[in-house]
Amino acid sequence: MSATDYSPLLEPFRFASSISLKNRVVMAPMTNLSSNEDGTVSGPEIDYYIRRSKGAGMVITACVYVSRGGKGFAGEFGADRDELIPSLRRLAEAIKGEGAKAVLQIFHGGRQCPPEQLLDGQPVSASNVPSELPGGGHGPVPRALADDEIEGIIADFGAAARRAIEAGFDGVEIHGANGYLLQQFFSPHSNTRSDRWGGDLQKRLAFPLAVLRAVKSAVKKHASSPFLVGYRFSPEEPETPGITMSETFALIDALKEEGLDYLHVSQMDLWSRPHRGTGDSRPRIEQIVDRAGEGLPVIGVGSLYRAEDALKSLSSGISLVALGRPLLIEPDWVQKVAEGRADEIDTELDPAAQDALVIPDPLWRALIHTPGWLPVKS
């Protein structure tokens, strides 16, 4: 039996919209590479989500593309057409059937889309600026979107939200993080436009805010019961010029003014510290929570493998703790905490446990063959 009191992680949480979660643990959105070629959710994916939806209070799905030109991964499922609503409904029902709230993450990959995943092989973005690759070099040169195409993608986000409502999800999360299209419009590195969609900070905010408005409009029109709208963002960029903490604060202010249910901060390490744009040396997450203020819940994530790591994360002021990689390794994470067996939580992937962990083959191959993605038992 563990002597530590982990009950704060197990306390219920209620959003302002009245949607309630059974605890403070959220399954973070993770690409699983395992959908069918036509954009439908596969059987192994359903099983994977069922295996992980018993403990968490809320499950945020892998991202779905809202436009076919925004497909960012092989084996990604879609929300770009009404024919996919039955597929989305199967997923929502599977997650909710285990007692978790189900949130669909909606996304457009922009310049990050692999050309081979696109019908015309041409990634698009705010401008024709390629991404800087971590190992050096650049990604494919994207085509700058025309004004009418931008309006079309904004409408696509609204339509995807409507499909999520019709499929029975409890909410959507707008993916504005990890260098994808919304971040590409907000970033001074990737957005060099001089029209209404780019230039100064306020114009670079125009596209993300238009997407949020389109999603909220769809919710107002189509949802007959409370429906969550969240926004995920990355707080800084390494590029110069790039998003700084001061610009991150401006984004938070703008999103809060528009109104939404929560912010979700994408970080590899919850306690990472800022590089520029603030004179405050505290961890980014504490500054973000302060900026969000009362009434706007913040979800934190980042290498919280052990129960004590997750418990400590609450001291940053976050309302909810998101677990991504920890739930790949240990699907019974929440149950073990609840049963006083926190010291039995696995924090390294067992290479012989694919069947027990219910991980689809494409995702399993990626986990095993990508050094550094997960801690792996030797």
Residues annotated as part of the active site = 180
Helix (H, G, I), strand (E, B) or coil at 262: strand
Q: Using the Cα atoms of residue 20, residue 22, residue 24 and residue 25 in order, give the sign of their dihedral.
A: negative
> DSSP string spanning 118-154?
SSSS--EESSSPPPBPTTSSB-PPPEEPPHHHHHHHH
- φ and ψ of 15, to 5 deg: -75, 160
What's the rounded Cα separation, in Å, for the pair 63 and 100? Answer: 18
**Token pair 């919209």 in the structure block, residue:** 17
* CA–CA dist 357, 94 (Å, integer): 17
Between CA 22 and CA 10 the distance in angstroms is: 7
Residues 6+ apart with CB under 8 A from 367: 328, 349, 359, 373, 374
| H, E, C per residue of 17-78 | CCCEECCCEEECCCCCCCCCCCCCCCHHHHHHHHHHCCCCCEEEEEEEECCHHHCCCCCCCE
Cα–Cα distances in Å, from 88 out to 82, 94, 203? 10, 10, 34
Contacts of 312 (CB under 8 A, 6+ apart): none
Distance from C-alpha of 115 to C-alpha of 131, rounded to nearest angstrom: 14
Structural element, H or E, at residue 323: strand 320-323
